[in-house]
Amino acid sequence: MQSLALFLGLIIGSTAFAQTDSKVSDTELKQFVTAFQDVQMESQKAQQKMMGVIEEEGMEVARFSEIQKAKSNPNAEVSASEAELTAYNTIITEIEAMQPAIEAKMEGHVKASGLALERYQAIATRLQTDTQLQERIRAVMQ
């Protein structure tokens, strides 16, 4: 799940190279909403698959998240049994193997909407701080 969160962060948040100062047209806004909703649905499906992988390895999702959080913090000590660490590593390997297909599907949804990935990212970044754009998005989503 951490990997998916990182990917979503990349798609939505990291757009230093993207143009964020251009006006978002009504057409682009509709395309963005379509892509965003499709990406959200794909994300939910991916999370369900990842939770299934975790549970198949005999670990609870909450416990996996605890270990993941501890492993991602260099100052934290990972308190897990050898069996848990083995299961954790197996889960991570399986989830990482799923990532390219998940990313491709999400990028496909963006492209299918008619927006370039870079433009999608630019709009998503602008959406974080532009309240007027947020209102326009809400109106389109209703």
What is the block-wise mean pLDDT of the chain (142 residues), using blocks of 10 residues? Answer: 47 42 87 95 96 96 94 88 95 96 95 95 94 93 88
pLDDT at 85: 94
The answer to the question of residue 4 being in a domain is: no
pLDDT at 105: 95
The answer to the question of residue 2 being in a domain is: no
73-103 pLDDT, tens per residue? 988 888 999 999 999 999 999 999 999 999 9
Distance CA 121, CA 107 (A): 11
pLDDT at 142: 87
Q: Is the dihedral of CA 93, 35, 15, 44 positive or negative?
A: negative
The answer to the question of residue 106 being in a domain is: yes
Range of the domain at 80: 26-141
Estimate to the nearest angstrom the gap between the alpha carbon of 86 and the chain centroid: 25
pLDDT at 45: 96
pLDDT at 76: 85
The answer to the question of residue 123 being in a domain is: yes
* In 14-130, alpha helices (H): 26-56, 61-72, 82-112, 117-127
Domain count, the chain: 1
pLDDT at 8: 47
The pTM of this model reads 0.74
